[in-house]
């Protein structure tokens, strides 16, 4: 069914783009109250045909971004950006569930968004392979001085095809050790435990996979309930770390660059997850859980543990209070295999998400101009964290929020352009501490970071390669679905992994791996290891 749906969506998209026309769809999902943008009229001009002079009246811009729980126009940053740029922006949001499918339907229907802001690499690649995105190079050369200064050469290469087409603006991750080598702040999440339940069990926080099993089993044996809940995903990265993998999706093993599914420890990982599932320690609804349902099971007291990012902690505590609980959360970050080993920590440095211009855009030049203005370093800082001495302060080289003024910047990161990652990381430290609970969780997650082996990974820089963009989305979906099935079914782990690999190879995986292998060989010497 998923394959059929993907095929139909792709077909619709190709037909729509070829026709260069469309009819408005239903309104975009989210809290925005603005009207739906209209479809682009047939025969509309391309950016190369438009007058490059931007001195006339500025049009309203329609921007689609990812799901948010708040209304973009109600954020203080909205007014700051409007005054800074002179543009009124109508914001639309993708839904929380099935955003990729919704995006394809929106664009295939001809809905005229001027920017698709902060799309995933899979989303951008799917649109690009369907010829639905502009080549942004001419626009960037004319109007994107700040943008081009704000991205690294590797990041720009990651969105540039073999024939020189730039199909997106890359927003780079800044998770890795920054200049100076300080690794503090690289860990953002882990398996969160309800400390009240841990105390009742007489258990300490687990640091390895054996401890994790013992803690989860103790809870399930006592309550009859699953101890760990998570979303409908076949991966649990904090457990993967105990098997030499962690967050990364690709690994060098004996000189070969391998996808995660081909890592030699995948069989053992699957066996471990099957054990948790079979014994009822892992939520048996995991294959169908949404983020909301999994979170609710944790916050209403049904489960002991749930994967937590530090920026979610205030919402979790609010949910605890709503059910009359005074529980707190402590987080196990990346788990070791046993007491004699260390976890393997991979830290993402690469392209986090992408901003694109669809061919249905009415105002591509103005869209680039708007984005270029918010990518100026001073403008970026003003949007992101405000003014020194008013909303933030610098102590010992680290940024700290000033309350209550900093509360205005809670969601301001959604309105920012691009600047170099070392600049962002410094300012981001204030955002990591923007509430007392967040600051405490952030510091707790990183309290042992210097004990860990940190390996940077850069695989997202290869996203523009033909063999990657043509295969990544479909293969990622297939592997994840098959892995979930294998966890739930209890199929022999070796047989399950062998079958997934066989399907991976015959459905584009060989092309994908060959592209990644060559890219890694060409670039590994320039990467930090």
Give CA–CA dist 259/513, Å, rounded. Answer: 7
Number of alpha helices (DSSP H) and beta strands (DSSP E) in the chain: 21, 14
Kindly provide the b/e burial profile for residues 375-402, where b requires at least 16 CB atoms within 10 angstroms of the residue's own CB.
bbeebbbbbbbbeeeebbeeeeeebbbb
pLDDT digits (tens), the chain, 529 positions: 333 334 333 433 333 333 333 323 333 333 443 344 544 444 334 343 445 558 788 999 999 999 998 999 999 999 999 999 999 999 999 998 889 999 999 998 889 999 999 999 889 988 998 999 999 999 999 999 999 999 998 899 989 998 999 999 999 987 655 555 567 778 889 999 999 999 999 999 999 999 999 999 999 999 999 999 999 887 898 999 999 998 899 999 998 999 999 999 999 999 999 999 999 999 999 999 988 999 999 999 999 999 999 989 999 999 999 999 999 999 999 899 999 998 888 877 788 899 999 999 999 999 999 999 999 999 999 999 999 999 999 988 788 999 999 989 989 999 999 999 888 888 888 898 888 899 899 889 888 887 777 887 888 888 878 899 899 989 999 999 999 999 999 999 999 999 999 999 999 999 999 999 999 999 888 775 4
Q: Note whether 287 and 300 are same-domain residues.
A: yes
Q: Note whether 160 and 107 are same-domain residues.
A: yes
Q: Note whether 143 and 224 are same-domain residues.
A: no
Instruction: Identify which of 438, 197, 436 has the alpha carbon closest to the alpha carbon of residue 298.
Output: 197
**pLDDT value of residue 528:** 54
**pLDDT value of residue 147:** 97
**462 lies in some domain:** yes
Task: Sort strands 256-259 and 344-348 into parallel, antiparallel or unpaired.
Answer: unpaired
Q: Note whether 194 and 262 are same-domain residues.
A: yes
DSSP secondary-structure letter at 264? T
Q: Residues 417-452: pLDDT tens digits? A: 999 988 888 888 889 888 889 989 988 988 888 777
Give CA–CA dist 157/259, Å, rounded. Answer: 21
Contact by Cβ (8 Å): 146, 417:
yes
**395 lies in some domain:** no
Q: How far is CA 256 from CA 67, 74, 265, 355, 508, in A?
A: 37, 50, 15, 32, 18
Give CA–CA dist 492/414, Å, rounded. Answer: 44
**pLDDT value of residue 425:** 82
Ordered strands of the 351-356 beta sheet: 89-93, 61-65, 115-119, 351-356, 169-172
**pLDDT value of residue 348:** 75
Orientation angle between helical segments 99-108 and 2-19, nearest 10 degrees = 30
**521 lies in some domain:** yes
**423 lies in some domain:** no
Q: Note whether 10 and 131 are same-domain residues.
A: yes
Q: Note whether 231 and 289 are same-domain residues.
A: yes
Instruction: Report the half-sphere exposure of 44 (CA within 13 A, side-chain side).
Output: 20
* Cα 402 from chain centre: 28
Q: Note whether 374 and 446 are same-domain residues.
A: no
412 — alpha (psi -120 to 50), left (phi > 0) or beta?
alpha
Contact by Cβ (8 Å): 189, 307:
yes
**289 lies in some domain:** yes
Q: Note whether 139 and 217 are same-domain residues.
A: no
**pLDDT value of residue 180:** 56
**pLDDT value of residue 174:** 72
**307 lies in some domain:** yes
Q: How far is CA 422 from CA 36, 134, 145, in A?
A: 38, 29, 19
Q: Domain range holding 481?
A: 189-348+435-526
**pLDDT value of residue 154:** 87
DSSP secondary-structure letter at 204? P
Q: Note whether 240 and 257 are same-domain residues.
A: yes
Q: Note whether 205 and 278 are same-domain residues.
A: yes
**180 lies in some domain:** no
Q: Which residues contact 175 (CB under 8 A, 6 or more apart)?
A: 186, 188, 347, 348, 349
Q: Note whether 92 and 167 are same-domain residues.
A: yes
Beta bridge partners of 282: 228
The full length of the chain comes to 529
Instruction: Identify which of 415, 520, 419, 394 has the alpha carbon closest to the alpha carbon of residue 61.
Output: 415
Phi, psi of 189 (to 5 degrees): -155, 180
Q: Note whether 272 and 364 are same-domain residues.
A: no
**183 lies in some domain:** no
Q: How many domains does the chain have?
A: 2
The CATH number that applies at residue 27 is 3.40.190.10
Q: Residues 115-124: pLDDT tens digits? A: 999 999 889 9
């Amino acid at each position: 069914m998923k394959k059929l749906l993907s095929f139909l969506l792709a077909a619709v998209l190709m037909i729509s783009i070829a026709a260069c026309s469309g009819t408005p769809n239903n309104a975009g999902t989210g809290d925005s109250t603005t009207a739906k943008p209209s479809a682009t009229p047939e025969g509309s001009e391309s950016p190369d045909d438009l007058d490059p002079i931007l001195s006339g009246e500025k049009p309203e811009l329609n921007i689609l971004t990812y799901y948010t729980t708040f209304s973009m126009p109600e954020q203080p940053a909205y007014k700051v950006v409007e005054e800074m740029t002179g543009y009124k922006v109508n914001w639309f949001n993708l839904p929380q569930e099935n955003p990729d499918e919704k995006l394809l339907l929106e664009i295939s229907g001809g809905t005229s968004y001027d920017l698709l802001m902060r799309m995933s690499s899979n989303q951008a690649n799917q649109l690009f392979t369907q010829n639905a995105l502009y080549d942004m190079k001419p626009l960037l050369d004319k109007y994107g001085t700040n943008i081009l200064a704000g991205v690294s050469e590797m990041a720009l290469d990651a969105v540039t095809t073999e024939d020189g087409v730039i199909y997106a603006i890359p927003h780079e991750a800044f998770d890795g050790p920054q200049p100076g080598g300080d690794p503090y702040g690289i860990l953002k999440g882990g398996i969160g435990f309800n400390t009240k339940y841990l105390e009742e069990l007489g258990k300490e926080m687990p640091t390895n996979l054996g401890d994790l099993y013992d803690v989860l089993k103790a809870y399930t044996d006592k309550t009859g309930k699953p101890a760990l809940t998570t979303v409908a995903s076949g991966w649990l990265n904090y457990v993967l770390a105990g098997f030499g993998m962690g967050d990364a999706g690709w690994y060098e093993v004996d000189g070969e660059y391998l996808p995660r599914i081909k890592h030699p420890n995948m069989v053992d990982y699957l066996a471990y997850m099957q054990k948790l599932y079979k014994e009822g320690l892992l939520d048996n609804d995991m294959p169908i859980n949404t983020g909301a349902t999994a979170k609710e099971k944790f916050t209403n007291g049904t489960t002991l543990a749930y994967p937590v990012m530090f920026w979610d902690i205030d919402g979790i505590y609010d949910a605890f209070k709503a059910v009359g609980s005074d529980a707190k959360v402590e987080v196990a970050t990346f788990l070791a295999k046993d007491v004699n080993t260390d976890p393997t920590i991979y830290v993402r440095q690469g392209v986090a998400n992408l901003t694109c211009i669809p061919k249905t855009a009415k105002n591509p030049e103005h869209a680039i101009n708007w984005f270029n203005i918010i990518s100026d370093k001073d403008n970026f800082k003003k949007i992101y964290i405000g003014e020194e001495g008013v909303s933030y302060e610098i102590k010992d080289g680290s940024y700290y929020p000033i309350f209550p003024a900093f509360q205005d910047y809670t969601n301001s990161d959604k309105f920012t352009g691009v600047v170099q990652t070392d600049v962002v990381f410094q300012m981001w430290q204030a955002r990591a501490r923007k509430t007392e609970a967040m600051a405490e969780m952030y510091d707790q997650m990183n309290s042992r970071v210097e004990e860990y082996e940190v390996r940077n990974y850069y695989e997202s820089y290869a996203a523009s390669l033909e063999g990657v963009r043509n295969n990544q989305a479909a293969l990622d979906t297939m592997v994840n679905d098959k892995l979930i099935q294998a966890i739930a079914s209890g199929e022999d782990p070796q047989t399950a992994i062998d079958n997934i690999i066989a399907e991976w190879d015959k459905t584009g995986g060989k092309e994908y791996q060959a592209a990644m292998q060559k890219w890694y060989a060409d670039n590994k010497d320039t990467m930090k290891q």
